[in-house]
């Protein structure tokens, strides 16, 4: 199963909160609002600042603010900031692994990785904040009882 890290999930919540504030916010305030431990919030804010997603200002009137609007931050950018490159298997970063020449799968996962990355790039944190998916999936109508599946 593909699963995001808890830190990526927490970072999304922090960025959405910062986007709603629109002004400087202390790490302690964000921790209280999200119910996350303050050390975790501080750690994530430092990582997000390093990735250019938040701006930090020191001092008595310091705090954190979002670097750009939620509409301009993709889920892919968030995940890459927290978890690193988006890839379903380790050998997809262009480097050969120990079995790269013999397993027969080298390069085959690229289409999967690219599709996932492109999909996540189209969803913004603004989409996540409103609860409306950027591209809602089209669900097939389930068959009625007794209906043939063929």
Residue 106 covered by a domain: yes
Q: Which residues are bridge partners to 57 per DSSP?
A: 63
Which residues, 6+ apart, have CB-to-CB distance to 7 below 8 Å?
A: 40, 44, 82, 83
Residue 135 covered by a domain: no
CB 64, CB 27: distance < 8 Å: yes
Residue 69 covered by a domain: yes
Q: Mean pLDDT in the chain?
A: 85
- The average pLDDT across 113-140 equals 79
What is this structure's pTM? 0.78
Residue 37 covered by a domain: yes
Q: Which domain holds residue 69?
A: 6-126
Residue 96 covered by a domain: yes
pLDDT at 49 over 70: yes
User: Which is higher by pLDDT, 27 or 147?
Assistant: 27
Mean pLDDT: which of 30-34, 92-96, 140-144, 145-149 is highest? 30-34
- Structurally, how many domains does the chain consist of? 1
- The average pLDDT across 28-57 equals 96
Cα separation, 49 vs 77, in Å, equals 13
Residue 136 covered by a domain: no
Residue 133 covered by a domain: no
Q: Which residues are bridge partners to 63 per DSSP?
A: 57
Residue 55 covered by a domain: yes
CATH of the domain at 106: 1.10.10.10
């Amino acid at each position: 199963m593909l699963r995001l890290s808890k830190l990526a999930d927490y970072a999304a919540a922090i960025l959405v909160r910062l986007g709603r504030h629109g002004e400087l916010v202390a790490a302690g305030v964000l921790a209280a609002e999200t119910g996350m431990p303050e050390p975790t919030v501080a750690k994530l804010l430092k990582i997000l600042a390093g990735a250019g997603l938040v701006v930090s200002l020191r001092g008595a009137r310091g705090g954190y603010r979002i670097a750009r609007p939620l509409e301009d931050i993709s889920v892919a950018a968030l995940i890459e900031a927290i978890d690193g490159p988006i890839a379903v298997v380790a050998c997809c970063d262009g480097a050969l692994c120990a079995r790269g020449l013999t397993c027969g799968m080298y390069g085959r996962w690229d289409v999967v990785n690219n599709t996932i990355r492109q999909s996540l790039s189209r969803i913004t944190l603004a989409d996540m904040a409103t609860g409306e998916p950027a591209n809602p999936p089209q669900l097939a109508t389930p068959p009625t009882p007794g209906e043939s599946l063929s």
